[in-house]
Amino acid sequence: MIDTDHSNAAEQFEGAPRRRRLPLPALARLLLEHPEAVQAFERRVWTGGGGGSHWYWLGAISDSGHGKLQIGSRSDDSAVVALAHRIAWVLGGGDCGSDAVIRHDCDESSCVNPADLRAGSMADNSADWVARRHRLDGPLGDVRGLAGRARAIRSALLEATAARPGEQVLAAARAAAAGQPFGAQLTLLEAPERVCPPILGAGVRPSWAPLTQAEADNLLPLW
């Protein structure tokens, strides 16, 4: 079940929960004490792309592009806000014996698929950024920034869930590609049979499509 309450209301009220990076051992204890938080987490995760794909977070998103979730109650001043991918690491059986930095191998900041997460140090995390931030086809190269990218993907998935449930994967791919320098071309390449007709018009084939045998026979020799 997908929770469509994706507002950032928790960021707006007075006396908002404490925002800090919880050490992994403390986060694991909190999740044991608050099973309702685990249920809330699961309702906000989109896993429609399958186990080997991104699991996008549909809840509140921080300015760094990471998902976040309130654990505990404001009424007794126990509420804290934890990062969604760190919760995913704990629930996925990751090592919680130390306060490691949880990194994204996929660079998709709102992804909470444990298969895409890896423990490391702050230096490791910084090295990842330096090594991959110039990739034009990757999340770190998105012109909207990581937060803008994550919110665009979230909006696209929620809209597709409500109106076009069979097109969630395509909606996520389009939203992700829209912020890349070559976003339109990437979107066409990912799903040409679905995207070409409305963009290029009926009967118009993109230049990268393979030639038919008849078309190849009619080409003038190049030698």
Q: How many CA atoms within 13 Å lie on the side-chain side of 190? A: 17
pLDDT at 168: 93
Residue 198 included in any domain: no
Three-state secondary structure call for residue 165: helix
Residue 222 included in any domain: no
Residue 47 included in any domain: yes
Q: Count how many domains the chain has.
A: 1
Residue 102 included in any domain: yes
Tokens encoding 197: 């007709």
Residue 137 included in any domain: yes
Break the chain down into helix, strand, coil percent, rounded to 5. 45, 10, 45
Range of the domain at 155: 9-193
**Which residues, at least 6 apart from 116, have a Cβ–Cβ distance to it below 8 Å?**
54, 55, 104, 105, 106, 108
Contact 31, 92 (CB under 8 A): no
Instruction: Quick: pLDDT tens for 133-172.
Output: 988 889 999 999 999 999 999 999 999 988 887 889 999 9
Distance CA 204, CA 172 (A): 25
- Average pLDDT per block of 10 residues along the chain, 223 residues long: 39 46 91 96 93 93 97 86 97 90 97 96 94 90 96 96 86 92 51 37 40 44 34
Distance CA 164, CA 157 (A): 9
pTM over 0.85: no
What type of residue is 88?
A: A
How many residues are recorded in the chain? 223
Three-state secondary structure call for residue 53: coil
pLDDT at 219: 39
pLDDT at 183: 53
Residue 35 included in any domain: yes
Contact 99, 120 (CB under 8 A): no
Three-state secondary structure call for residue 87: helix
Residue 130 included in any domain: yes
Residue 218 included in any domain: no
Contact 90, 96 (CB under 8 A): yes
